[in-house]
């Protein structure tokens, strides 16, 4: 079938720090397989990243690294449109219009806003609150049908759907109403290694809470060995064993096992053997991605050309929707 008949898919990751295996398992890994069946747009969400304090030089570096990581993980610039969010001004332009149909109460009750406001009490800014509207703009600009994300983004996606429907009701059919694509089972939400009641987050102040995509083998194994587990000594996935269940989810993500297969594999063995095996499986899976990312980062001209081409294509697609929006709301554009 021709590419033009494929539905559109959009997702993004923030360059707000070292990407974790939570981001990889919950989001990036799934981006790769979806490239065959959808017209995919994948963005580095730098506009979102500045809703918490970033160091300019570090943000620039993280943007380039994330672009290289996308490609190293298997996103093919010949199949998907890879770009940096701030290179396409329509994201900010649509955000302004969508702000006028968003109620403050919808934003102030968002879980992520409440969590991040508590965590960054010294910098509770309007951007942090408006974050989900910018995210809705990212999605709606491309007439997106499907949005692959981790479970933590479900609430934001609900808002994107509400805003699409609200705008369509008020101004006439303009936006496709997007569907979330969230993994089933324990991979959709990888938990902190230090506290399995919280999600693994790249901005956690404790580096032992997460494994990054660039951690070396020894670090990965050490972090797995230190991971908080539960009482008992049995490798079994269950609600009363959040620490072990989380390690099983990680192990399965990198080995392709099911919960049952992993439980059988470690029957009669203790947590020690299991944690070592998890660390080795993660390190083995990340090694080829790491070397490819390092190779790409040496070829800045190539990365720049991918970004430039992606931004051009995204710009044209976004313009079509933005022009329609501007017409519907009544902005004068000359005779």
The entry of ligand LTN, ligand ATP, none that residue 16 binds, CB within 5 to 8 Å by partner kind: ligand ATP
CA distances from 98 to 161, 163, 271 (A): 12, 7, 50
Phi/psi-derived region of residue 144, left when phi > 0, alpha when psi is between -120 and 50, beta in every other case: beta
- Which of 53, 61, 202, 300 is an active site residue? 202
Q: Is 305 helix (H, G, I), strand (E, B) or coil?
A: helix
Return the one option of ligand LTN, ligand ATP, none that residue 246 interacts with (CB less than 5 to 8 A, by type): none
How far is the C-alpha of 260 from the C-alpha of 43, rounded, in Å? 36
Which entry of ligand LTN, ligand ATP, none binds 186, CB below 5 to 8 A by partner kind? none
Q: Does 189 bind ligand ATP (CB under 6 A)?
A: yes
Q: Judged by CB, which is closer to ligand ATP: 23, or 137?
A: 23
Find the shortest distance in angstroms from Cβ 52 to ligand LTN.
11
Counting contacts by CB under 6 A, is residue 23 touching ligand ATP?
A: yes
Q: Does 153 bind ligand ATP (CB under 6 A)?
A: yes
209 is a site residue for ligand LTN (CB under 6 A): no
Round to whole Å and give the CA distance between 90 and 146. Answer: 20
State phi, psi for 256 to the nearest 5 degrees: 80, 5
Q: By CB under 6 A, how many residues form the interface with ligand LTN?
A: 13
Element (H or E) spanning 12, and its range? strand 7-13
Longest dimension (CA), the chain: 78
The verdict on 152 binding ligand ATP (CB under 6 A) reads yes
Show the tokens assigned to 269.
């063995």
Q: What angle do CA 187, 79, 42 make, to 5 degrees?
A: 50
Q: Which one, 151 or 255, has the nearer CB to ligand LTN?
A: 151
Q: Report the partner that residue 77 touches, choosing among ligand LTN, ligand ATP, none (CB closer than 5 to 8 A by kind).
A: none
Name residues whose C-beta falls within 8 Å of residue 155's C-beta, 6 or more positions apart in sequence. 110, 111, 112, 132
Rounded Cα distance, 120 and 260, in Å: 41
Partner from ligand LTN, ligand ATP, none contacting 138, C-beta within 5 to 8 A by type: ligand LTN
Give me the catalytic one of 7, 116, 300, 328: 116
Q: Which of 8, 9, 10, 133 binds ligand LTN (CB under 6 A)?
A: 10
Confirm whether 199 is a catalytic residue: yes
DSSP lists the bridge partners of residue 181 as: 148
25 Cα distance to chain centroid: 10
- Which tokens belong to 263? 């439980």
Which 36-55 residues touch ligand LTN, going by CB under 6 A? Answer: 45, 48
Q: Give, as ranges, the residues between 137 and 156 that touch ligand LTN (CB under 6 A).
A: 138-139, 147, 149, 153
Q: What is the DSSP string of 309-327?
A: HHHHHHHHHHHHHHHHHHH
116 is catalytic: yes
What angle, rounded to 10 degrees, do the helices at 56-72 and 300-329 form?
Answer: 100
Looking at the Cβ atoms of 157 and 227, the one nearer to ligand LTN is 157
Select the residue interacting with ligand ATP from 29, 91, 161, 202 (CB under 6 A).
202
The least distance separating ligand LTN from the CB of residue 43, rounded to whole angstroms, comes to: 7
Residue 114 annotated to the active site: no
Residue of 21, 319, 22 whose CA lies nearest to 142: 319
Which residues form the interface with ligand ATP (CB under 6 A)? 13-14, 16-17, 22-23, 25-27, 149-150, 152-153, 188-190, 199-203
| Residues making contact with ligand LTN (CB under 6 A) | 10-14, 45, 48, 135, 138-139, 147, 149, 153
Catalytic residue IDs: 116, 199, 202
């Amino acid at each position: 079938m021709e590419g033009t008949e494929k539905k559109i898919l959009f997702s993004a990751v923030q360059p707000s720090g070292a990407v974790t295996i939570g981001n990889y398992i919950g989001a990036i890994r799934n981006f790769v397989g979806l490239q065959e069946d959808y017209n995919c747009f994948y963005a580095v969400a730098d506009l979102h990243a500045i809703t918490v304090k970033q160091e300019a030089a570090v943000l620039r570096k993280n943007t380039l690294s994330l672009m290289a990581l996308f490609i190293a993980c298997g996103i093919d610039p010949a199949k998907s449109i890879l770009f940096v969010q701030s290179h396409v001004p329509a994201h900010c332009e649509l955000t302004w219009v969508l702000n006028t149909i968003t109620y403050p109460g919808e934003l102030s009750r968002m879980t992520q806003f409440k969590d991040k406001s508590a965590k960054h009490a010294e910098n509770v800014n309007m951007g942090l609150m408006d974050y989900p509207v910018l995210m809705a703009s990212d999605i709606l600009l491309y007439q997106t049908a499907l949005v692959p994300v981790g479970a933590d983004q479900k609430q934001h996606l609900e808002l994107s759907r509400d805003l699409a429907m609200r705008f369509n009701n008020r101004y006439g059919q303009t936006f496709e109403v997007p569907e979330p694509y969230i993994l089933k089972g324990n991979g959709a939400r990888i938990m902190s290694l230090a506290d399995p009641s919280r999600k693994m987050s790249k901005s956690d102040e404790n580096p032992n809470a997460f494994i990054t995509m660039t951690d070396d083998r020894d670090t990965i194994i050490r972090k797995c060995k230190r991971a908080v587990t539960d009482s008992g000594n049995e490798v079994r996935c269950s609600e009363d064993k959040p620490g072990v269940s989380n390690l099983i989810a990680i192990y399965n993500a990198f080995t392709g096992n099911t919960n049952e297969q992993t439980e059988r594999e470690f029957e009669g063995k203790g947590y020690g053997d299991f944690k070592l095996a998890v660390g080795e499986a993660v390190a083995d899976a990340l090694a080829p991605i790491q070397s490819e990312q390092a190779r790409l980062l040496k070829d800045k001209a190539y990365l720049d050309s991918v970004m430039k081409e992606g931004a051009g294509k995204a710009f044209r697609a976004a313009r079509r929707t933005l022009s329609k929006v501007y017409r519907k709301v009544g902005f004068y554009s000359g005779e």
